[in-house]
Amino acid sequence: MNTAILIEYLPLFAKAAVVTLKISLAGIAVSLLVGLLCSYIQYFRIPVLSQIVQVYIELSRNTPMLVQLFFIYFGLPKIGISWSRETCAVVALVFLGGSYMSEAIRSGLEAVEPVQTESAVSLGMSPFQVMRFVVIPQAMAVSFPAVVANIVFLIKETSVVSAIALADLMYVAKDLIGNDYNTQEALFMLVMFYLIILLPVSILSSVAERRIRYAGFGY
């Protein structure tokens, strides 16, 4: 392992990490919104929309992200829809992540016993109050571990966007290996930067999970 090469590669990987983080944050944020919307549609069994959501979830979860990315980047321009590499990467991440977030959140909503909502209604709570004070706190406690797992999964899935020549961490590592043949150094930096991104997420999520469970269930 050549320390001088590691120092030389550091700015390149730091710049690539910014690209990875930007794509990850945008994709995860929109995925959560899509997941919330889809989970509520399924939870309340809204006619037609719930069937559309189910088709979307099955399509998203049963096709590889690489195929989805290629369809968005190479296929959509054939019908006049052309986006930048960054936008295509985020859209692909959202298309995949929205379905996983939806299932995670829906499982939390459905874990709340019907008797609790019925009791809340009998006490005079409005539907909004039932969701706000009874359903959502408990649903969050149940679904939070799955949501965090999906966040980590989506960050790792950003490595796929290197296939459309977007200069993320994986693209830079492959480029350096191909040009300089410094495989050990490039892979070491790749692993280190992914750890720098993902370890804080895991640690913070563990702390947040304990607090949410305490708030949701009272222990």
pLDDT above 90: residue 55: yes
In one-letter notation, the amino acid at residue 127 is P
Count of CB atoms within 10 A of residue 173's CB?
A: 25
Q: Residue 52 and residue 127: Cα distance in Å, rounded?
A: 25
The predicted structure's pLDDT at residue 104: 92
Q: Mean pLDDT, to the nearest integer, of 26-41?
A: 94
Averaged pLDDT, 190-206: 91
**pLDDT, average across residues 30-49:** 92
pLDDT tier, 165 (very low <50, low <70, confident <90, very high otherwise): confident
Mean pLDDT, residues 44-57 taken together: 93
| Residue 201: pLDDT over 70 | yes
* pLDDT (0 to 100) of residue 108: 87
The conformational region for residue 165 under phi > 0 = left, psi -120 to 50 = alpha, else beta, is: left
The domain tally of the chain equals: 1
Q: Per-residue confidence at 115, pLDDT binned at 50, 70, 90?
A: confident
Higher pLDDT pick, 188 / 213: 188
pLDDT over 60 at 216, yes or no = no
In DSSP notation, 86-114 reads: HHHHHHHHHHHHHHHHHHHHHHHHHHS-H
Per the prediction, the chain carries an average pLDDT of 89
pLDDT over 60 (residue 21):
yes
Domain with residue 99: its CATH number is 1.10.3720.10
pLDDT band at 118 (very low <50, low <70, confident <90, very high): confident
For residues 137-152, one letter each, b for 16 or more C-beta atoms within 10 angstroms of the residue's C-beta and e for the rest, the string is bbbbbbbbbbbbebbe
Q: Which of 144, 152, 62 is nearest to 99 (CA)?
A: 62
Give the pLDDT score at 219.
39
Closest by Cα among 201, 183, 181 to 191? 183
Q: Could you tell me how many helices (H) and strands (E) the chain has, helices first?
A: 9, 0
Cβ atoms of 33 and 90 closer than 8 Å: no
Per-residue pLDDT, 210: 77
In the predicted model, what is the mean pLDDT of residues 74-101?
A: 93
Percent of the chain with pLDDT over 90: 56
Burial 62-76 (b: 16+ CB within 10 A, else e): eeebeebbbebbeee
Which residues form the domain of 167?
A: 3-217
